[in-house]
Chain A
Amino acid sequence: EPEVTQTPSHQVTQMGQEVILRCVPISNHLYFYWYRQILGQKVEFLVSFYNNEISEKSEIFDDQFSVERPDGSNFTLKIRSTKLEDSAMYFCASRVGTSDTQYFGPGTRLTVL
């Protein structure tokens, strides 16, 4: 069964460094999402992406964040200058156009020191 994959599973970085989190959505899906979950808190929407552009973003998704689909398979989230409060689990999700069901990857745990 096809699934969303994410790499790395765990990333440790120093404050102020740039990180890129990678996702490979399910191949026939058209809509892509990033969410984050700070430890012990709810899952929060960051950004959605369709047709090679951002379709919606939350207040959390400020100028430090960017997303890209550099080729036909990868979907990346970049944080330009990480802060301590960016430490969280980051989930990628995707869905086909004909259903509102989103399928999630296993997540990348980001730790900012």
Chain B
Amino acid sequence: GDSVTQMEGPVTLSEEAFLTINCTYTATGYPSLFWYVQYPGEGLQLLLKATKADDKGSNKGFEATYRKETTSFHLEKGSVQVSDSAVYFCALSDANSGNTPLVFGKGTRLSVIA
């Protein structure tokens, strides 16, 4: 079945450092790819998405490019802030899987220190 593999955390960075969180996927069809963020004590918020190969999703300084050849959707940010501290989840939605439930990775906890 479909699956998402994420870089294990936790990740601790200093403010203004460069962030990469790796995500690779396995899917039978042509999935849409998502990054969700979970701030402490809150629910899941959509951060960005990409629906087809070579699409780049971006939001709040975060970017991820849908790479079909490497089945990857790595999350990057050029300069992290303390307010970016959260858990980041990579997910896919495969249109061939009925009512498109999301398949999540295990999540990567990011801590940014001042």
Residues of A at the B interface (CB closer than 8 Å) are: 31, 33, 35, 41-45, 48, 50, 55-56, 58, 91, 93, 100-107
Contact = CB atoms under 8 A, between A and B. Distances in A.
B77 interface: no
Contacts of A101: 34, 46, 49
B44 to A, nearest CB: 4
Contacts of A103: 46
A41 B46 CA distance: 19
Interface string B51-82: 10000000000000000000000000000000
Interface residues of B, number: 25
Contacts of B51: 100
Contacts of B104: 42-44
Nearest to A33: B101
A56 B32 contact: no
10 contacts: A33-B101, A42-B105, A43-B44, A43-B89, A48-B98, A55-B99, A56-B101, A100-B95, A104-B36, A104-B43
Interface in B86-114: 89, 91, 93, 95, 97-107
A44 B34 CA distance: 15
Nearest to A102: B102
A48 B107 CA distance: 22
A93 B100 CA distance: 12
Given A55-B99, A56-B101, A106-B43, 5 more contacts: A35-B102, A43-B44, A43-B102, A43-B104, A102-B93
A102 B34 CA distance: 10
B12 interface: no
B45 interface: yes
Contacts of A35: 102
Contact of A55 (B36, B89, B98, B107): B98
Contacts of A33: 101-102
